[in-house]
Structure 1
């Protein structure tokens, strides 16, 4: 009995083991050493006990039974914590138990004996077969799920072999590509793809094979794309193709899977967006062209108006000079009449000049606003002397202030410990534009008050001052701007503070919020009483912020206003001036007195006959010799008669400078200037001829373009002759010290 593999056993009716051979102990895990109270129930799993107890009751009632059961096994039979079966049922010790009750004479059960046969191997086979069947079912379920997913997907899914032959594709693939629905073996996708995109397919396919990495690329199909309304959107269907390599266990690519996504609506949207952008850019360009043309057409006659006003003023002065000896002998009535006419004429001239200047500033504001809207306005720092800033502002406004009896006070505040700064890098033109706007407002709102005082002050500081120090409430910065700091020799920055205080009408706190907005003024009454476009302070704020600063204001009705602002500027070293150049320049500069006025020979190239005639009269009256030309061709022809032309040194025409209108018929000023510079380069013109660009287009880029094309300086219409003469004098002096 001990050498067989079948386990034999015998239990009493209490379930205690009476006998078990070696095979029984091996299969059941029942301890060989008797343990008081230890029964077969201790050797089975908790979840099997209920069923086994029913079978034990049947055996106790004398009914034999054969059944399959599980034992814990030798390793777990004595473990109290091992109560449940292992996760894998095949890992338990399965046996076939044949049990027979041993009955007494009266039929009662005395013992239960039987045998156990090991069936663990069969159970494992059954388990493996069941697992395979379950795995196969899961695969079928997954395949059905993938098929449903692919059939309902809104992207085209495909699988292709290494010859790019489609072996599977879903219904959406046919819909997107426009390929007729056929069996997979009959799919011929190449005929539905644009021929030039076949190169893209080949390149990306080879890239996928070489790198074994997914590839993404765009493809176009011959099928037209229709929008949601059924209208034709694009001539082709655009798709994004994503293809992935599929490899075997050895890592070799055996096929490729991928999907195509219809992106025609994105391509259409991009095209529509580009079209709208192009239209917006074109509209902006046309708007700027319209602004330029309008300003050009206004500036041309406005220039003539200002020249005529200057001519009237100078003529009136000459008449007064001629009559100064005669007036005392006239009757008092006629003398009073003359003085009244002279005064009214002078007032009329002042009004013309004032209105023209105001009109010019409005046009300048419109141009600046146009550049701000287009984000084309840039700050171009240059070397500037600090003390010259206030001097220039004072010189510009002292006459206007005197005409309306306003006391203009200009001073630089110096505080103990303030750094000594003489030169900085800043955009003087933009800074002066800010000061002009603030001073123009100060004079405008003060001229009708009983007390007429306007004060302009400047202070340099290395520290940023507070609102309390400035005495104003700073306006929050409107936009975060990138500032390109210009590095000077020291790279150290300082704060330049400016304050404009007037004794004008002032305004309340509510009006403070509006004055820096576009086209806004303190109140509707402001425009009717004082005029203006409502752009000045808005542009002022923008220009200040672009220079790294802020502006603030403090005001009370009837007590005047205080505007304070600051900008940042790097400290710079003074420019180097050679002593020899200084002596030469001084020697070439005549004394600028009323007794000695330099006389220049000037060629005025201007197509507007009114401007041409008025400029000629004014310059001739000032003692200059004037020649005129209506276009570039006439100007070049005239140059050939002057002493600056080769082999023409004996010509009586010693040309000093040319004022060149930029926009002219036949040949414009830029082309003419290029011709002149080219003639200088080849020696047809024997010396440098100074040229001043005159244009009604006041944009900085247009003026800079003229300078780049060879002009020496520029002035924008409308201008006064007194603004032109200093430029002529400077260029003539420079020419005088140049070597011939």
Structure 2
């Protein structure tokens, strides 16, 4: 049996059905055969490739020829070059079989897979940051609650002839109330964030008078501002009157939550100020959507996604004209760096151990604030300079309405727990004498109308780039100073262990400092890692209690800096890491920073004293 067929056509047809392109080139790189897929993928199947001629260049001239070709292509000039070729006798009968494969689908699949891996990794990291934040923010106040409870129980049972006064008991109860209120705020933020993230939170508009209604969340801070000797002021900008704002439809429970978050931060950091302590809340209004307030409060660009979250356009808001209520919280606190301002409102940003927390605690509350503003058709912004205080401003959209038919405004709720915490603080202020020495903050439901620049529309005039540099103090002859102080202590017969307590939380620091002094220690205090390093340079300590999460400089960075200082001397001060974090890698990071041991919050004073004594004894042996 015989067959008559055209082998060339059959070969072409066979090559055309292959998924990969194929071509045959002779020794001069000329195409003598190419499949359809090869021609599709390579538009010049005649082997007219720019680099093909390089394959005939002698190896010794290859780099020069390749560089000349590259320069000619770049400069769009003719190329004149002499070069040696490979021996054509060795390649006349040769040729090449070229194949080319379309790997677009594989590359696309790889890109999709890589993005999925990155998304999963980001989700895992966010979950870890969330767990870290929850652990730190909830476990941290537990230590203060535990220590205050020990004081109260000791007084009740009158152990060892306890000399704890009624004032101390009231202060302990007040501290417990503050800690519980803080934990309630964190839990509320978490629940609100979860609902916002799942698009399950809706607004409940009521007919209200914003200027009057916002005094309710402000009132719960009266006792705290009085105790911290903070002058508090609440004013209405003239823009509120000129915009003729009276009754509007709004959800001031949610906007009050934003105000409470901002005011909590303002009190926390203004209380650290060594100069004038001042907080002013102002309210203004605008007909057009604000873009900034003076001085320099620039609102974030909301973006299309944020604008879609606006929940103020349904029928329950009525058909009144749109207006914008503008609120600002201005303080004379420690201020915020430009770098930190850019990260303030990112979810969980301040909770990560890798981030130096500067302002706003965990960062969750401020992220919730921004989301709530988006939901109410508004936005939030900040202006600050380190050492010169901060101004947080936010606005929200409302619709004009008439006075309710029954004549009663929509309720502005204050939770029982918040009220109880405020009542406990009032009692503490009475028993400690604060009420006799400090004027009661005035929060009028009809605040004075005046020009309040931080809550009115205005042009941007940003001078934040002209910051004043901070000069680091110079310490000279450190080793001699250390030896002299150590000798002086020895001559004075000082046997009490000196402890440096490094803790940014003012409540924990106050309670723990008192407990350690009662246990017989001499206690010095530092609010952050940088202050701890400065104190370690100037003073001798038998032990340092180093909190991990702190502003300006965290505990690990401070511990490394102190160990570097010790390289120039023979001394070694034990450092006990104090943390509310729970993961093993976080413990490992603290030990890698040359801390000697770790204690986890919450802990009892007995457990802490035992660890300190053990470390001091081991260090002195």
**How does the TM-score come out when normalised to structure 1?**
0.33
Structure whose residues are more often strand by fraction: 1
The higher radius of gyration belongs to 1
